[in-house]
Amino acid sequence: MSYFKKLLYNIGLFVSRNGLLITASAAALTAFSLLAAILSINAQKADQSLFIPEPQNQIISTSTVSSLTSSELNTTTHTTTAPKIGYNVAAQPDNDNVFVKVTDYIPTIHIELKYATTDNISGKVIYDFTDAYLRYGTVKKLAKVQEQLLTQGCSLKIWDAYRPPYAQFVLWEAYPNAKYVANPYSGYSSHSRGGCVDVTLVTASGEDIEMPTGFDDFSSRADRDYSDVTSGAKSNALLLENTMKDNGFKPYFSEWWHFNDTVTYDIEEQFIP
């Protein structure tokens, strides 16, 4: 007997035994209501059987993790080397001779190329690029300088880096004094080798601090004697000088801002920043 027929039979039996007078339509309605209730209960049970609980986060103790293999943890083991302080995540050339943009490797450094402005001895814009370029080997040394200076609340600012050979002729015409400007007719400026840099100190945020002179100030106060400048300017200039020397740079006596890499590179005439 089907489930529905059995239900109707039981209802009829109940009615006959209790002597109840019920119409066929009422009986049918009652049977339908009971059937609907039963089906609803069964549907709820079916839904509960299909319910899949969300996975819960599991906390694994350190001792447990140490005893598991990588495959048991279903993870891939990665070895990560943090970049050195002062370096950006840029391609690391295999050759120290390669020219690179300084800020690609020292993002915290400040750049104000004076020969891209009129604020220099010539009073003219000498070259039209504003990014500083140096040999990669020199940049690595400069990054160490910047790292050390940042711990003392100050930063490097580059005034001049790689200088194309043609720029030297403009400077010589403006100030033909070999003490301060290399004579391009008898040789090249060390800036055209890519291992020379003119730098000053500023705060980490780029604000000026007291130094002996401004850029291209070819007076006696520009040299490294420091006897004719304030104690603050002397202290700051010595901080710059000593940090540069400690990291592979050689200072030029007549200009407190001028430093050469102790590694000498060839003259570069083809590179265009």
Please state whether beta strands 110-111 and 154-160 pair in parallel, antiparallel, or not at all (unpaired): parallel
Spatial contact of 139 and 119, defined as CB atoms under 8 Å apart: no
> What is the phi-psi region of residue 220: left when phi exceeds 0, alpha when psi lies from -120 to 50, beta otherwise?
alpha
Establish whether 255 is a catalytic residue: yes
| Secondary structure (3-state) at 185 | coil
Q: What is the DSSP letter of 96?
A: T
Task: Give the C-alpha separation, 241 to 235, whole Å.
Answer: 10
Give the active site residue among 147, 210, 255, 268.
Answer: 255
Which of 157, 141, 108, 148 has the alpha carbon at shortest distance from 261? 141
Q: What is the DSSP letter of 133?
A: E
Spatial contact of 148 and 194, defined as CB atoms under 8 Å apart: no
Spatial contact of 191 and 120, defined as CB atoms under 8 Å apart: no
Angle (CA) 85-89-94 rounded to 5° is 100
Q: How many CB atoms lie within 10 A of CB 253?
A: 11
Q: Tell me the catalytic residues.
A: 255
